[in-house]
């Protein structure tokens, strides 16, 4: 398993990062047995996957708790990434210690600010009007993160869902930031515009999230009607498709989206690989990607995803996939916030 160092740190992560959002179970992903979590985490480590991504908000902290149980006795083999919500950055230490307690660990390898600090982003994390109206500053938040790093509570500082201008604000604080975690897959290519070039110029690694677009690029859904409403609330889908969960009020790119999936199936069949493996291999072909975050809820899914990390597609196949997905990029554009209307992005 290929490993890449994050930014200027000495932390090397595997090409695949295990997405731990389903761990602990919850309304969004449904039940998740601890037995399966233990099996997936143990097998991942055996297969050379060392990176695990969680957050304080995932399933009300149960994701962190579940991951901690699975890594008991194996902590030294893992790179553990967790995230703090922007509404909690008035007291970063308190929330970092709470995450560590749930994980049963005494340090985090990477600690990220989950979303940029702006009113629209903060509103998704709290209803406290005082925090919404007077959120913490970027400078104060990253100064606290830097202090935690100096104390050894965290090894590396990151950000998640930060755009070009927002990254510039963080870099201006003088705090070393090694990684930006951003949505990136065949039908979510917005970071190619300004974000990836800026990261390359400033030695900030990118870990891609939503590698399989919540199962769409794994070929789970044959038609748009098959997609569960709560997983159809991004700008990829029409406003009506989300049935109360969408808030972007745009028309989506459903026809173009499933044309991409159909074409990907054909390419995957020609290459004798699974469509999910092709989707992962395409991401890892991009030189600006350090790792891709993929959910694996059982051993079979994990093994298939790991195999994809050693699958090398040709330049011609990469270019073909770029071409067939271009219509989706043309519609959705280079705005990487796939959940708000393009005119009021939380990411800029």
DSSP state string for 206-241: EEEE-TTTTTGGGT--SSGGGS-GGG--STTS-GGG
pLDDT tens for each residue of the chain, 348 residues long: 899 999 999 999 999 999 998 898 877 767 778 999 999 999 999 999 999 999 999 999 999 999 999 999 999 999 999 999 999 999 999 999 999 999 999 999 999 999 999 999 999 999 999 999 999 999 999 999 999 999 999 999 999 999 999 999 999 999 999 999 999 999 999 999 999 999 999 999 999 999 999 999 999 999 999 999 989 999 999 999 988 889 999 999 999 999 999 999 999 999 999 999 999 999 999 999 999 998 877 888 899 999 999 999 999 999 999 999 999 999 999 999 999 999 999 999
What is the Cα–Cα distance from 8 to 17, expressed in whole angstroms? 19
Token pair, residue 219, equals 């070929």
CB atoms within 10 A of CB 33: 12
Q: Which domains are delineated in the chain?
A: 3-222+286-312 (3.20.20.100)
On whether the CB atoms of residues 217 and 185 are closer than 8 A, the answer is yes
On whether the CB atoms of residues 4 and 290 are closer than 8 A, the answer is yes
β-pair type (108-113, 179-183):
unpaired
**Inter-helix orientation angle 275-285/254-271, to 10°:** 100
Q: Give, for 67, the enclosing helix (H) or strand (E).
A: helix 62-70
Burial class of residue 323 in the structure, from the number of CB atoms within 10 Å of its CB (0-12 exposed, 13-18 middle, 19+ buried): exposed
Residue 270's contacts (CB-CB under 8 Å, 6 or more residues apart) are none
On whether the CB atoms of residues 120 and 340 are closer than 8 A, the answer is yes
Q: State pTM to two decimals.
A: 0.94
What is the Cα–Cα distance from 96 to 108, expressed in whole angstroms? 9
């Amino acid at each position: 398993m290929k490993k890449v160092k994050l930014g200027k740190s000495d932390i090397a992560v595997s090409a695949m990062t295990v997405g731990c959002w389903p761990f602990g179970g919850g309304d969004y992903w449904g039940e998740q047995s601890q037995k399966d979590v233990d099996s997936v985490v143990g097998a991942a480590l055996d297969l050379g996957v060392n990176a695990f991504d969680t957050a304080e908000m995932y399933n009300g902290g149960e994701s962190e708790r579940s991951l901690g149980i699975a890594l008991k006795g194996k902590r030294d083999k893992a790179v553990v990434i967790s995230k703090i919500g922007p509404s909690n950055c008035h007291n970063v230490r308190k929330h970092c210690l709470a995450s560590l307690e749930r994980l049963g660990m005494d340090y985090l390898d990477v600690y990220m600010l989950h979303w940029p600090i702006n009113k629209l982003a903060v509103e998704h994390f709290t209803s406290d009007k005082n925090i919404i109206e007077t959120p913490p500053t970027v400078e104060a938040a990253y100064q606290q993160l830097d202090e935690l790093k100096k104390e050894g509570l965290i090894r590396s500082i990151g950000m998640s869902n930060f755009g070009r201008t927002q990254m510039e604000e963080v870099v201006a604080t003088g705090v070393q930031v090694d990684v930006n975690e951003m949505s990136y897959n065949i039908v979510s290519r917005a970071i190619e515009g300004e974000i990836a070039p800026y990261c390359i110029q400033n030695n900030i690694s990118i870990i891609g999230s939503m590698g399989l677009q919540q199962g769409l690029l794994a070929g789970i859904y044959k038609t748009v009607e098959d997609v569960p409403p709560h997983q159809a609330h991004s700008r990829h889908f029409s406003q009506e498709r989300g049935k109360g969960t969408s808030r972007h009020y745009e028309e989506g790119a459903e026809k173009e989206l499933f044309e991409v999936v159909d074409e990907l199936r054909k390419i995957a069949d020609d290459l004798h690989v699974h469509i999910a493996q092709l989707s992962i291999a395409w991401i890892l072909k991009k030189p600006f990607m350090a790792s891709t975050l993929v959910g694996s809820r059982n051993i079979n899914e994990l093994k298939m995803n790991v195999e994809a990390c050693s699958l090398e597609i040709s330049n011609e196949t990469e270019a073909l996939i770029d071409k067939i997905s271009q219509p989706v990029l043309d519609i959705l554009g280079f705005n990487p916030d796939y959940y708000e209307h393009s005119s009021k992005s939380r990411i800029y």
